[in-house]
A and B are shown apart, each in its own frame.
Chain A
């Protein structure tokens, strides 16, 4: 059974603080790991697609790392801002399958 676990389920962070959360996935037959940001009342928006072990990607204050051997990816947000409030989804892709995690709901406190 393919399962993607995200933790924590929900997170409250003070504005200006940095934070990170985790996505765990099966380590065998890996093809790609996706991160999406889903703001309320909007569509999910792609952040990163990562394919290589050791990959690190960055977009502004958000970055992600990938460890395919142990089956995890971290998403980091530096200096959280109110606009970072969203649900962050990761999705694991292999063998023409894509499995989404339940997401980490991030709330930025003013």
Chain B
């Protein structure tokens, strides 16, 4: 089955710790994205990558880092510099940049 997987579904961390969220796709898509959702807000773009070994900051990249070493993988690290890391994180991919996007199931991160 083709699709996007994110793991884990729920993640709990102590403040001050870095944490990495996984995103894998087997759709052979060139572009991948990370979004964050907070209550009462629209999805906000954190980082995106249109090709392997290249990525761009979205609107709220501060406190996050990404890598794109393989076409199918786009992990997101939430660093201790991110002031409000507790949120729902969605990964997506598309055939080309900003085409129709396919979303993963999301990871809910809670930092206490």
Residues of A within 8 A of B (CB): 4, 31-32, 34, 36, 42-46, 49, 89, 91, 93, 96-103
Contact = CB atoms under 8 A, between A and B. Distances in A.
Contacts, number: 49
B98 interface: yes
A44 B104 CA distance: 8
A96 B44 contact: no
Interface residues of B, number: 23
A46 B98 contact: no
Interface of B: 4, 33, 35, 40-45, 56, 59, 90, 92, 97-106
A102 B40 contact: yes
A32 B98 contact: yes
Nearest to B40: A102
Given A36-B101, A97-B45, 12 more contacts: A42-B105, A46-B102, A49-B99, A89-B42, A91-B43, A93-B98, A96-B56, A96-B98, A98-B98, A99-B42, A100-B43, A103-B42
A-side interface mostly: strand
Contacts of B105: 42-43
Nearest to A6: B42
B41 A102 contact: yes
Contacts of A98: 33, 45, 98
